[in-house]
Amino acid sequence: QQQVKQSPQSLIVQKGGISIINCAYENTAFDYFPWYQQFPGKGPALLIAIRPDVSEKKEGRFTISFNKSAKQFSLHIMDSQPGDSATYFCAASMSTSGSRLTFGEGTQLTVNP
């Protein structure tokens, strides 16, 4: 019930295309859903996050879509750029359990020029 399932494991997109990464969760007590971007040899960096009271959040080229009934959320990267090539992790946490993050397995995104 604590798991967060992420797909695909890897994704190759052409420059200018849309990258879509999906995550699904089981525990309905999760109330915070962040996405992290990680470059090789670096720590993860928060990209964008959403709470279950909204269905979509957009920040620049990054959008989170959230479907509470389906217990799914996804990251959309519009106009993907080679500099977006990185590993992306979705995560979830619940405020009632110390806010520890449960991470998805990660998606390695490659944006070809």
**Interface residues with another protein (CB under 8 A)?**
31-32, 36, 41-46, 49, 89, 93, 95, 98-101, 103-106, 108
Of 13 and 92, nearer to another protein (C-beta) is: 92
Of 9 and 69, nearer to another protein (C-beta) is: 9
User: What residue has token string 């806010």?
Assistant: 99
Q: For residues 71 and 90, give the distance between their C-alpha atoms in angstroms, rounded to a whole number.
A: 13
Query: Least CB distance from residue 4 to another protein, whole Å?
Result: 9
Of 17 and 48, nearer to another protein (C-beta) is: 48
Q: For residues 37 and 43, give the distance between their C-alpha atoms in angstroms, rounded to a whole number.
A: 9
From residue 99, how far is each of 1, 32, 43, 69 by CA, in Å?
16, 9, 19, 22
Query: Least CB distance from residue 55 to another protein, whole Å?
Result: 19
